[in-house]
Amino acid sequence: MSDRENLEQPRFAAPGDGQPSKGNGGEHSSAEILSQPECWQSCLASLEGDKSLSDFAGRFERASGWLFIGCGSSYYVAQSAAATALSLTGRRAQAIPASELLLYPEATLAAAGGLTPVLISRSGRTSEVIKAAELLKSRGIPTLAVTCAPRERLGNIADATILLSAADEHSMVMTRSFSAMLLALQVSAARAARDSGFVSSLRKMPTLAAPIFKKVPADMRKFVEKNRFSDYVCLGQGPFFGLANEYALKLTEMSLSYAQAFHTLEFRHGPKSIVGPETLLVFLLSDSGHEAEREVLEEMKALGGTTLTVTNRTDARVDAASDLVVQLSLDVPELARLAPTLPTGQLLGLYTGLRKGLDPDSPRNLSRVVTLDKEPSRAS
């Protein structure tokens, strides 16, 4: 039996519609996506009393700014966390892939001078993140870490760690671990900003977002079953750009589809040449940029594109320019809605993969942990 098969069973059941029947593949991914409200509740509760988490929060709050570091999905967590921290605190916040620090350490550290590094890794074993942590430690730079796996190397290297073991997954592809780590970093940023109202909004999110997980799976499954696309483009601005990158990655990983991400308004500058009915354009509409982003949506629909729009509140113009609208309807600040924006992209990847006869739990060529050294690779 493989190491993956020996892992502990998922902590949460999968509520609501949309779980594929047993034997079709994707069972773990489906369960992990749909369990997110319960997972968030558990992780947010764990942030309240644990002494090690309090230590992390204290160090985070005292920082003059933050350098968020990750690989793959964790890098996109870093992008969204950096956007949140900058907006809430007004302090410097930057996101980089771990490889940039390893290959260009002097330039990277010079540009990030004075920022506290925050290392993000679901497994706590990703080689590039571990090597980045070791490099920083060798230079006497204190680090913070966020992970979902206990007793792994990253937690031993970092000076303080947030551990979200309830968010770990069976699947190779990150879903609930992404949203849980993002929420934890958003809570930390809100505490650093002394913004108790924002913390309160995040604490409400498991309950407020529950209806999304009841309606969106059926809508997304019907949409995927009805349409066939050659390419996918995911568009977002500001804090939603990291989510657009994650949408594209979920489609690539779970369905072996060709997907790209762009800043919404940048898509006009050349990339729009690919627009046609065979390309699905996914728009993540913000509040602050709603009017300008809606104009791009309308332009791409006029060019013949197929469009899927995720927005907190729709309107007649958005409806007219969209083949499908996912409306969140959450009465919380825009930045607090990042995690509930994720399941649409996760489900799009899941159902597209299943439609192609693939197993989104175990995409080809992938492993749960990317290890580059000579030690044997194992799931974690």
CATH code: domain of residue 216:
3.40.50.10490
**Considering the chain, what percentage of its residues have pLDDT values greater than 90?**
83
What are all long-range contacts of 256-259, with beta carbons under 8 Å and residues at least 24 apart?
256/353, 256/356, 256/358, 256/363, 256/364, 257/229, 257/231, 257/232, 257/349, 257/352, 258/230, 258/231, 258/232, 259/231, 259/232, 259/233, 259/234
Residue 365 resides in a domain: no
215 and 201 in one domain? no
Count of domains forming the chain:
2
Question: Which of 175, 205, 235 is the last residue in one of the domains?
Answer: 205
User: Residues 258, 116: one domain?
Assistant: no
pTM of the model as a whole: 0.90
**Can you give the pLDDT at residue 371?**
54
Burial of 214 (0-12, 13-18, 19+ CB in 10 A): middle
Helix, strand, or coil here: 314? coil
Average confidence score pLDDT of the chain: 90
pLDDT at 215 over 80: yes
Residues 161 and 259 both lie in one domain: no
Instruction: Write down the pLDDT at residue 51.
Output: 72
Last residue of a domain, one of 177, 205, 233: 205
CB contact at 8 A, 380 and 8: no
From the centroid of its chain, how far is CA 313?
21
Average pLDDT score over residue span 100-125: 96
- Tens digits of per-residue pLDDT, 88-101? 999 999 999 999 99
Confidence of residue 48 (pLDDT cuts 50, 70, 90): confident
pLDDT confidence band for 9 (50 / 70 / 90):
very low
| pLDDT at site 362 | 85
> Are 26 and 150 found together in one domain?
yes
170 and 246: one domain?
Answer: no
User: Is residue 361 in a domain?
Assistant: no
Give dist(CA 281, CA 231) in Å, integer.
9
Confirm whether 33 is domain-assigned.
Answer: yes
Q: Is residue 1 part of a domain?
A: no
| Position 377 confidence tier, pLDDT thresholds 50, 70, 90 | very low
Query: What is the percent of the chain where pLDDT is above 70?
Result: 89
Domain boundary among 156, 176, 205: 205
Q: What is the mean pLDDT of residues 18-25?
A: 51
Q: Is residue 3 part of a domain?
A: no
Q: Check whether residue 227 and residue 81 sit in a common domain.
A: no
Question: Alpha carbon of 107 to those of 7, 31, 79, 153, 245: distances in Å?
Answer: 40, 42, 19, 26, 25
Residues 199 and 214 in one domain: no
Q: Which two tokens stand for residue 265?
A: 């308004």
Residues 64 and 193 occupy one common structural domain: yes
| Domain identity same for 128 and 177 | yes
69 and 176 both lie in a single domain: yes
Do 179 and 306 belong to one domain?
A: no
- pLDDT tens, residue by residue, 292-333: 999 999 999 999 999 999 999 999 999 999 999 999 999 999
Q: Residue 21 has what pLDDT?
A: 39
Quick check: is 368 in a domain? no
The pLDDT of residue 373: 59
Which domain does 314 fall in, by range?
A: 210-355
